[in-house]
Amino acid sequence: MTDPHTAHDSHGALLTVADRHDHEARIYDAMAAGILAGWSESDYRVDPGAIPFVNREQVDYLAAAVEQLGPLAGRRILEVGAGGGSLAVWLAQQGATVVGIDVSDGILQVARERARVNGVADRVTLVHSPIETFDPRAAGLDHDTYDAVIGNNVVHHFERVRALDNLARLLAPGALAVFCEPVLFVPEWMRSLRNSRAVTRRFPAHTHTPDERALTDADFALMRGRFRHVEWRPFQVLCRLQNFVELSDRTWLRLEGVDRWLLQVVPGTRRICRIAVVTLGLPRSSGRAMATEGAPLASLTEGLTR
């Protein structure tokens, strides 16, 4: 049996969870050093009136993910992979109390500065920790669970088993975890071909770290083993071309419009989408899950779309 605490990078090299965290921390620490050295105060500003999309690709799916969180004011929200803090700060501007975690201490320094500049440092707590081992009490916080969890392009970095087990413990009764993630439902040989040196020399992978792996059916099976409610909403089909060539804004917007139509009227396109908004709820391995079994599912998933 494969050790669940290990993984392989895109070229098959064996990596431990510690290796993966170290890889990611070094990359994002270096990115943060450049930001901290070069940004002015205005660069840290977040508009409270608009979700802080990092780029055009995120507009549809991140908006859908945030919508699923429901009312934000007065809620305690965990952001996994908080990065530079744009989303954490925006959530705090909406009245939430936010805890953001990340494996890169350097990028969290960017997030702290962003929270300070935007006047929400009292509602944003940033903790240097991976999700696999995050414990609010051990981090000095006065709580155990969260009213909602969100993450943008982070699950495909996780050691899935430990991360999902911990997420199940961190959700308060009735809470949902929502993640925006790349997906790839193809046989393993096709994934290996895409990540082969012969292909990536011509079409480099659009990744930050070498151990990223888009979610597969096996990942969703792991989720269903830990949560009674697992749902995913597809985004982007033809836009998958962005994985191979840089699309112009005009081309991107046209393809995205076609994709919305395809995903609405052609059910089979779900399986070839590029991004999924994944919603998890009702943990199986927790007493909290048993306490919520009598509640209508609609009360936990209001507004979700299959």
Cα 112 from chain centroid (whole Å): 20
Secondary structure of residue 231 in the 3-state scheme? strand
The predicted-structure confidence for 95-118, as pLDDT tens digits, reads as follows: 999 999 999 999 999 999 999 999
Q: DSSP characters for 65-104?
A: HHHHT---TT-EEEEES-TTSHHHHHHHHTT-EEEEEES-
- CA distances, 249 to each of 239, 243, 252, 253 (Å): 11, 15, 5, 6
Backbone φ and ψ for 148, nearest 5 degrees, come out as: -165, 155
The predicted-structure confidence for 213-228, as pLDDT tens digits, reads as follows: 889 999 999 999 999 9
Sign of CA dihedral 105, 110, 113, 114: negative
Structural contact between residues 277 and 233, judged by C-beta atoms closer than 8 angstroms: yes
- The single-letter code of the amino acid at 166 is N
The predicted-structure confidence for 131-171, as pLDDT tens digits, reads as follows: 999 999 999 999 999 999 999 999 888 888 999 999 999 99
The alpha-carbon radius of gyration of the chain (Å, integer) is 19
Q: What is the pLDDT of residue 194?
A: 56
Range 6-236+273-298 classified under CATH 3.40.50.150:
yes
Rounded percentage of the chain residues whose pLDDT exceeds 70: 79
CB burial of residue 45 (10 Å; 0-12, 13-18, 19+): middle
20-24, 73-77, 124-128, 196-200: which has the minimum mean pLDDT? 196-200
CB burial of residue 203 (10 Å; 0-12, 13-18, 19+): exposed
Structural contact between residues 24 and 209, judged by C-beta atoms closer than 8 angstroms: yes
Reply yes or no on whether the pLDDT at 25 is more than 80. Answer: yes
Q: What is the pLDDT of residue 202?
A: 60
201: pLDDT confidence band, cut at 50, 70 and 90? Answer: low
The predicted-structure confidence for 35-66, as pLDDT tens digits, reads as follows: 999 999 999 999 999 999 999 999 999 999 99
21: pLDDT confidence band, cut at 50, 70 and 90? Answer: confident
- Measured distance CA(85)–CA(52) in Å, rounded: 10
2: pLDDT confidence band, cut at 50, 70 and 90? Answer: very low
